[in-house]
Amino acid sequence: MRRVRYESTGGPLFLEEVPVPQPGAGELLVRCEAVGVTLPVVRKVTEAPEPVPLGGELGGEVVSVGAGVTRFRPGERVTGLCFGHGYADFALLHEAMASPIPDDATSVDAVALVRGGLVALGSLEAARPEPGESALITAAASGVGHLAVQLARIRGAARVVGAVSDAAKADFVRALGADATALYGDGSWGDPVDYVLDAVGGDLLTPALAALAPGGRLVAYSSGGGTIQAYDLLVGAKSVTGFQMARISRERPELYERWRRDLWRMFSAGTLRPVVHGEFALEDAAKAHAAIESRSNLGKVVLRP
């Protein structure tokens, strides 16, 4: 089978031929039909001191199962987060990380909706939104952000602002339901909002906090780091919450499962629409990464083995 790999930090991605892996205890062997490209994986290629397996969300058909697997059988379609080599024709998926793909959805729909939707919905829940409040979503055109814009509206936000890196993304974000857009470099992001969902971090944390009305809530779910001054919290009685999806899946699996069902329900009803920026062949994985690195993507970037 084919698999994408790299040999050094920041090194080029290339295809190699390797044997099809065999599922161990509790694992599924999945024929990959779609693989979601994520910012954390892209950052690992450029920043990790040693090469790491290229994993991420995947969707496809179960080919075989390892010992002890009870929830899935060969022939069923599943989606889930792969921590090993996922940029491949076949990949191993732990049963605990897998969930079924409904009959009315494709594998591309699944990788564009489930993981990104869980992060978007979870961070929104962490903001404790009330109907009629206003929201600001950073990275509003990203794989997670474009779902967060829609979910904020679904949850009753009276005004939604999407913050983006490029004015060329404004029409896309407005088409998702945003009332207004703002550029990261602007001096002001308009009228203050009740809550901010921040996927960028770094230098953007300060303007994100400044965008809050008194008593506002900032939910940070970025891996981009950043620093907040305590005085900026105190002066406006503002709060910051860190959100991590891994903690929810590990410690509150029942909530994780409920959110997943909610996402598919909204998808089936047509109220939540995942958008795919582009579908790239395995041999074009470097182009898929470039779309993420350049912040040019509008929605989810997907590999199609």
Q: Is residue 266 part of a domain?
A: no
- Is residue 2 within 8 A of residue 88, CB to CB? The reply is yes
Q: Are residues 154 and 242 in the same domain?
A: yes
In-domain check, residue 252: no
Q: What pTM, to 2 d.p., does this model score?
A: 0.93
Is it the case that residue 184 has pLDDT exceeding 90? yes
Please report whether residue 110 resides in a domain: no
Same structural domain for residues 202 and 131? yes
Residue-wise pLDDT tens digits, 102-144: 999 999 999 999 999 999 999 999 999 999 999 999 999 999 9
Judged against a pLDDT cut of 80, whether residue 173 lies above it is answered with yes
If asked whether residues 7 and 67 sit together in one domain, one would say yes
Q: What is the mean pLDDT of the chain?
A: 95
pLDDT of residue 145: 97
The CATH number of the domain holding residue 292 is 3.90.180.10
Q: Which domain holds residue 163?
A: 116-246
Query: Among the three residues 231, 246, 261, which one is the final residue of a domain in this structure?
Result: 246
Q: What is the pLDDT of residue 131?
A: 97
Residue 139 near residue 114, CB atoms below 8 Å: no
Choice between 223 and 194, residue whose per-residue pLDDT is larger: 194
Residue 216 belongs to some domain of the structure: yes
For the segment 11-56, what is each residue's pLDDT rounded down to a tens digit? 999 999 999 999 999 999 999 999 999 988 999 999 999 999 999 8
Residue 90 and residue 171 in one domain: no
- Other Cβ atoms less than 10 A from the Cβ of 210: the count is 14
Q: Tell me: do 120 and 176 sit in the same domain.
A: yes
Give the pLDDT confidence score for residue 231 in this predicted structure. Answer: 86
What was the pLDDT predicted at 227? 87
Domain identity same for 153 and 186: yes
Residues 121 and 54 in one domain: no
The predicted pLDDT at position 281 comes to 97
Residue 224 pLDDT level (bands cut at 50, 70, 90): confident
Average pLDDT rounded to a whole number, residues 91-95: 96
- Can you give the CATH number for the domain in which 190 is found? 3.40.50.720
How much is the pLDDT for 301? 97
> Would you say residue 263 lies in a domain?
no
pLDDT at 194 (0 to 100):
98
In a domain? residue 83: yes
For residue 233, being part of any structural domain is answered with: yes
Cβ-contact 133, 158 below 8 angstroms: yes
- Whether residue 69 is found in the same domain as residue 132: no
Mean pLDDT of 90-105: 95
Number of domains in the chain: 2
184 assigned to some structural domain: yes
Q: Which of 228, 246, 264 is the last residue of a domain?
A: 246
Instruction: Please identify which residue in the block is written with the tokens 């996927």.
Output: 199
**Would the pLDDT of 196 be above 80?**
yes
pLDDT for res 251: 92
- The DSSP symbol for 96 reads G
Neighbours of 231 (CB within 10 A): 8
What is the model's pLDDT at position 249? 86
- Is the pLDDT at 214 greater than 90? The verdict is yes
Nearest-angstrom CA–CA distance, 160 and 181:
9
